[in-house]
A and B are shown apart, each in its own frame.
Chain A
């Protein structure tokens, strides 16, 4: 770390809470000119919250915020931008229907005296900028026609060349192929030589170690370690992230857990060589009755796409699916449901009707079983009441609008929807995300109970704890491919993170 130099950005004792929950507690952070600073930590550790404070997205917090040694308070992202701070968010924010050149110059196209866009100049300059990045594309081609990785590189290039002094990159490599990652790193190093300061957030610890000078580790809203990359290792960072022997909140899954022998019960789902453009590559696996198959991986590893393919929402480009030995191509979610597949997506908003009462939310997937033409409201309510009782949904009022329930209870409703006539295969995405410990345990118990009833269950999660608490067998997904299977062997959070 450049000793004696003045930090370009310095944060002291930053505390930020959302509705009484502290996301950051007294965090100090300093960024020096010409430094690449890596940030690591689990989901919800506070990395993104801190970056959003720096980028002027969150403006309410306590603590001191200094730029070039002067105390500053941003009132908006625009203020941060004016101060030379730029951020590339995890989700792509490009305009796919505009040309590459327009995207590069979004918001500040070169114009002539009449205010008309100088297309030729814009195309030339965009081409030059991208070439410096090692990107060789026609600046007048439509951005949306390019592969996702290239789109992401172009977005990053735009921000890097916008003249910002501080650039924050949130998970920039998750959609990139190895050579693209190389190109990005080469550019980052060049910018560092030119004096730009870069904050680099990533789940890929190898990437962090490869490119950054300094690494800061977050855990539970606190900064728990700061070190130079040269002086640390992947193992040491993972240990700091998880906090061995630290606060024993729940089961921390830091110790080895023994996975059971592979089950020999009937195969419910057989997936062979499944692929989907850039998201999934040759994925093959089986899910068996009475078994929970965990699929773990970082954000953007292809879990979401995989779950959508299994439920007929996305069409794969290649590969086959078979349910109980019968080959299936799901033309629609209705076809998948008829074949005995059910999905609970990670976002409850996507599968629940917030303005409708609980009982309508529970009965919607099974209405065709209880009524041919006319609705049977009494039967619907009775079924819903049984589910509400069994899953201990609170408050136990089936006529209440779903939106009035807490997140954990909404998640239970999402499960209840499929349980009156249990499917053969239940696919759960992030089943315990954002829940308190009690609700989490309830959901875990429900899933275990379903397993005992002989369902094949697939749990997809980016949280190692979720997978470890539920799975009998674990696949690790990395950039769209299965890179490791854990079965009949010891597994722990470290081992999962190591594999991913």
Chain B
């Protein structure tokens, strides 16, 4: 039986390299993009391909990476979370709000011990995620609209907390993790790596992870298999919010300040990282591995454009075009795979 299985599996592959490659398009294309971009910038600028610059890139994508972990779960379920950046922002502001600020900071805040500040902030983002979850599963609001509302709600809470002012201090643990380093490696890179690894382990080796893929692959079938689809969808929305919150707290420490609209660019960057990496917008395909490749593509692109002499306004357009290309590949890859399966 074992031998017949190997033979058949081989047969499946031997139907031709082309169908196999086509079915793997979503994994191959982002990787080729990464190699191409790296080679291009290394050729175009001598300062790009250095160890120092690799460190820069890693640090630059860390906050996006932390947020993208949770977003990967959401997109694998064929949902979307547009509130990630706002939730990151409000959580970062909250942790500063609960910390004693210098006297010149004009915010009527509530100073608490560091541990309490961190726990309260985590609870806040978990709560906002829970509201997303309930709106999506109990009321039945599409995630696109639900999280659009949450984006505004979280921004509103942020505004009320800081009232146009800027806070600087966060608990020392957050300061260390956000801006400190150990043995030359920034803590924020380590945190991002640990969270990405954790996300990968959960998705690959736990029952919950399997359910996430199955719900995304065919929600109807998941329901007909007796899975509690709503519970799983609710859980991924909370996971996404908590990851965003952690990214927000460390981001505030990393930037050295907490203020309104600080994370606005992270919404697009995080979605782009997940999608450029090849996780299917239709759910069920992809994973943290793809997200990591996507993060590097984005990081190399953002960083590399700074190394070559290019109009800084043109950079924005180029990023948009690259994202569009990735979306085309994403949708196209799905179609190719469906064809290969027939």
Residues of A near any B CB (own CB < 8 A): 311, 313, 332-334, 336-338, 342-343, 345, 349-356, 360, 364-365, 367-368, 371-375, 385, 395-401, 403-404, 417
Residues of B within 8 A of A372 (CB): 207
Pairs A–B under 8 Å by Cβ, sample size 16: A311-B224, A332-B230, A333-B225, A338-B226, A349-B220, A350-B221, A354-B341, A356-B213, A360-B214, A364-B210, A364-B214, A364-B222, A365-B226, A373-B206, A396-B1, A400-B9
Of chain B, the residue at the smallest CB distance from A423 is B226
B52 is an interface residue with CB less than 8 A from chain A: no
B8 is an interface residue with CB less than 8 A from chain A: yes
Give CA–CA (A360, B204) in the complex, Å.
Answer: 13
Identify the interface centre among A311, A353, A374: most chain B CB within 10 Å of its CB.
Answer: A353
CB distance from A366 to the nearest CB of B (A): 9
Residues of B near any A CB (own CB < 8 A): 1, 4-5, 8-9, 12, 205-211, 213-214, 217-218, 220-228, 230-231, 284-285, 337-338, 341-342
Give CA–CA (A404, B224) in the complex, Å.
Answer: 21
Cross-interface CB contact of B207 among A334, A342, A349, A373, cutoff 8 Å: A373
Give CA–CA (A396, B225) in the complex, Å.
Answer: 22
CB distance from A295 to the nearest CB of B (A): 19
Query: When A334-B227, A365-B226, A385-B1 are in contact, do A401 and B220 touch as well, CB less than 8 Å?
Result: no
Residues of A within 8 A of B225 (CB): 333, 337, 351, 364-365, 417
Query: When A354-B341, A374-B205 are in contact, do A333 and B221 touch as well, CB less than 8 Å?
Result: no
Of chain B, the residue at the smallest CB distance from A343 is B224
Cross-interface CB contact of A333 among B213, B217, B223, cutoff 8 Å: B223
Residues of B within 8 A of A343 (CB): 224
Residues of A within 8 A of B337 (CB): 355
Give CA–CA (A375, B213) in the complex, Å.
Answer: 13
Evaluate contact between B218 and A399: CB separation under 8 angstroms: no
CB distance from B340 to the nearest CB of A (A): 9
Residues of B within 8 A of A371 (CB): 207
Query: When A351-B221, A375-B205 are in contact, do A356 and B342 touch as well, CB less than 8 Å?
Result: no
Query: When A345-B224, A352-B218, A355-B285 are in contact, do A395 and B206 touch as well, CB less than 8 Å?
Result: no
CB distance from A402 to the nearest CB of B (A): 9
Query: When A351-B225, A355-B337, A396-B1 are in contact, do A404 and B207 touch as well, CB less than 8 Å?
Result: no
Question: Assuming A311-B224, A374-B205, what are 10 further A-B pairs, CB within 8 angstroms?
Answer: A350-B224, A353-B217, A354-B341, A355-B217, A355-B337, A360-B210, A364-B222, A374-B206, A375-B209, A397-B8
Cross-interface CB contact of A355 among B4, B227, B284, cutoff 8 Å: B284
Residues of A within 8 A of B218 (CB): 349, 352-354
Evaluate contact between B1 and A337: CB separation under 8 angstroms: no
Identify the interface centre among B208, B225, B337: most chain A CB within 10 Å of its CB.
Answer: B225
CB distance from A47 to the nearest CB of B (A): 28
Cross-interface CB contact of A400 among B8, B210, B227, cutoff 8 Å: B8
Evaluate contact between B341 and A355: CB separation under 8 angstroms: yes
Query: When A334-B228, A353-B218, A400-B9 are in contact, do A375 and B206 touch as well, CB less than 8 Å?
Result: yes
Evaluate contact between B5 and A332: CB separation under 8 angstroms: no
Evaluate contact between B5 and A397: CB separation under 8 angstroms: yes
Of chain B, the residue at the smallest CB distance from A345 is B224
Evaluate contact between B341 and A403: CB separation under 8 angstroms: yes
Residues of A within 8 A of B223 (CB): 313, 333
Give CA–CA (A375, B203) in the complex, Å.
Answer: 10
Give CA–CA (A27, B196) in the complex, Å.
Answer: 64
Evaluate contact between A375 and B9: CB separation under 8 angstroms: no
Residues of A within 8 A of B209 (CB): 375
CB distance from B200 to the nearest CB of A (A): 14
Give CA–CA (A280, B309) in the complex, Å.
Answer: 71
CB distance from A65 to the nearest CB of B (A): 31
Residues of B within 8 A of A396 (CB): 1, 4-5
CB distance from A327 to the nearest CB of B (A): 20
Of chain B, the residue at the smallest CB distance from A350 is B220
Residues of B within 8 A of A400 (CB): 8-9, 12
Of chain A, the residue at the smallest CB distance from B213 is A356
Identify the interface centre among A311, A345, A356: most chain B CB within 10 Å of its CB.
Answer: A356
Evaluate contact between B8 and A395: CB separation under 8 angstroms: yes
Evaluate contact between B206 and A397: CB separation under 8 angstroms: no
Give CA–CA (A83, B335) in the complex, Å.
Answer: 36
Query: When A352-B218, A355-B217 are in contact, do A332 and B9 touch as well, CB less than 8 Å?
Result: no
Of chain B, the residue at the smallest CB distance from A388 is B1
Evaluate contact between B228 and A332: CB separation under 8 angstroms: yes
Of chain B, the residue at the smallest CB distance from A338 is B226
Give CA–CA (A354, B338) in the complex, Å.
Answer: 9
Residues of A within 8 A of B12 (CB): 400, 404
Evaluate contact between B341 and A404: CB separation under 8 angstroms: yes
CB distance from B15 to the nearest CB of A (A): 10
Give CA–CA (A313, B227) in the complex, Å.
Answer: 12
Residues of A within 8 A of B226 (CB): 333-334, 336-338, 342, 365
Residues of B within 8 A of A401 (CB): 341
CB distance from B326 to the nearest CB of A (A): 21
Evaluate contact between B224 and A367: CB separation under 8 angstroms: no
Give CA–CA (A420, B208) in the complex, Å.
Answer: 20
Evaluate contact between A353 and B221: CB separation under 8 angstroms: yes
Residues of A within 8 A of B284 (CB): 353, 355
Of chain B, the residue at the smallest CB distance from A398 is B5
Residues of B within 8 A of A395 (CB): 4, 8
Evaluate contact between A356 and B214: CB separation under 8 angstroms: yes
